[in-house]
Amino acid sequence: MIIFNSIEQLKSHLISIRDQKKIIGFVPTMGALHAGHISLVNKAKAACDVVFCSIFVNPTQFNDLSDLDKYPRTVENDCLMLEKADCDIVFVPEVMEMYTERELALKRQKVEDKSWTEGKEVDFGLLEKVMEGAHRPGHFNGVAQVVSKLFRIVQPQKAYFGQKDFQQLAIIKSMVAQLKLPIEIVPCAILREPNGLAMSSRNERLTTNERDIASIISKTLFKIKEQYNSSPISELKANAEARILKEPSIMLEYLEIVDAETLQPLNDLKKVKNAVACIAVKIGEVRLIDNVVLY
């Protein structure tokens, strides 16, 4: 496994791989890897000649600076896990390798920097107006900014994204379509802890007790799935919210039952088969999201 920190060195290595017509599978991450990430690497391994993983805690997608500071950073251990998973290339850039001073200054001033579209028309429309987009201003612009930069550097044929970030996946698919990038976006199923908690790098910040409590999140979503065809949406949402609110240490940010394509909230008059239940909560300082597809 080769580890690169510099874009220049990485690019010259990738040229020889492309010359050999090898299929590159890309797994972008922010590190603090867990079995969920490794399942993405394994999926890429099965379908590609070269598996490429990036580890970069992207400052422009954090709307809360303390969240950025506290994001777990475990690069050494991450690299050991990737080596064991037979990953071929790891890219671990510093912030100044990925961003110019100007781009970081715009972020600090909370100005939405659209330079990543390189003058093309990109509009996420209603996709970014709900859930994470509504609760984390600037988040998806930051995600699209870093992913488009990484796509331009790596030029993979396939890129792997976890379905835990359901809305992020929709945004990335939309970005790739609008920028007409020749990259196949491969969705990967959520991996769960034995108690049902969706695997996430942020789980590392939970105490054992909080992890136990957090099992209510997925239990609530699976209950919605069980009753989706037999109960009205208003009732499903009310019961789910009541269930979460009973747990005093969980703060509910949102719980939505949405159309899996448009991500717009459904109601009893507009109930589609292709739906997904999405949730965001805070346990102490730790923000967690999860979702369950209902079809």
Handedness of CA 120, 259, 136, 92 (dihedral sign): negative
97 interacts with ligand PAF by CB under 6 A: no
Contact stretch for ligand PAF (CB under 6 A) within 68-76, 142-150, 212-220, 267-275: 142-150
Told to check if 27 binds ligand PAF by CB under 6 A, we report no
Identify the residue among 165, 193, 241, 259 touching ligand PAF (CB under 6 A): 165
Listed ranges 11-19, 27-35, 207-215, 258-266: which one lies at the site for ligand PAF (CB under 6 A): 27-35
3-state secondary structure of 258: strand
Nearer to ligand PAF, 161 or 228 (CB): 161
What is the nearest approach in angstroms of ligand PAF to the Cβ of residue 29?
5
Report the length, in residues, of the chain.
Answer: 295
Q: How far apart are CA 22 and CA 252, in angstroms?
A: 46
Q: Determine which residue in the list 36, 53, 58, 224 makes contact with ligand PAF, applying CB under 6 A.
A: 58
| CB nearer ligand PAF, residue 165 or residue 247 | 165
Does 61 bind ligand PAF (CB under 6 A)? Our answer is: yes
Pick from 146, 176, 224, 288: which binds ligand PAF (CB under 6 A)? 146
Q: Total residues at the site for ligand PAF (CB under 6 A)?
A: 10
37 is annotated as an active-site residue: yes
Nearest residue (CB) to ligand PAF, 57 versus 240: 57
Q: Does 30 bind ligand PAF (CB under 6 A)?
A: yes
The yes or no reply on residue 28 touching ligand PAF (CB under 6 A) is: yes
- Measured distance CA(116)–CA(147) in Å, rounded: 9
* Integer Cα distance of 27 and 25 in angstroms: 7
* Segment near ligand PAF (CB under 6 A); pick from 26-34, 66-74, 235-243, 249-257: 26-34
| Measured distance between the N- and C-terminal CA atoms of the chain, rounded to whole angstroms | 39
C-alpha 259/C-alpha 275 separation (Å) is 5
Between 175 and 214, CB nearer to ligand PAF: 175
Q: Which is nearer to ligand PAF, 25 or 28 (CB)?
A: 28
The CA-based dihedral angle spanning residues 212, 30, 67, 59, taken in that order and rounded to the nearest 10 degrees: -170
Across-strand partners of 279? 255, 290
The H or E element containing residue 290 is strand 286-293
Is 47 strand, coil or helix? Answer: helix
203 near ligand PAF, rule: CB under 6 A: no
- CA dihedral (127, 129, 130, 132) positive or negative: positive
| Residue 39 interacting with ligand PAF (CB under 6 A) | no
Subset of residues 273 to 292 that bind ligand PAF, contact rule: CB under 6 A: none
- Residue 43: other Cβ atoms inside 10 A: 19
β partners of residue 186:
160
Catalytic residue among 13, 34, 37, 139: 37
Q: What is the rounded CA–CA span in Å between residue 66 and residue 27?
A: 26
The residues annotated as belonging to the active site are 37
* Footprint of ligand PAF (CB under 6 A): 28-30, 58, 61, 143, 146-147, 165, 168
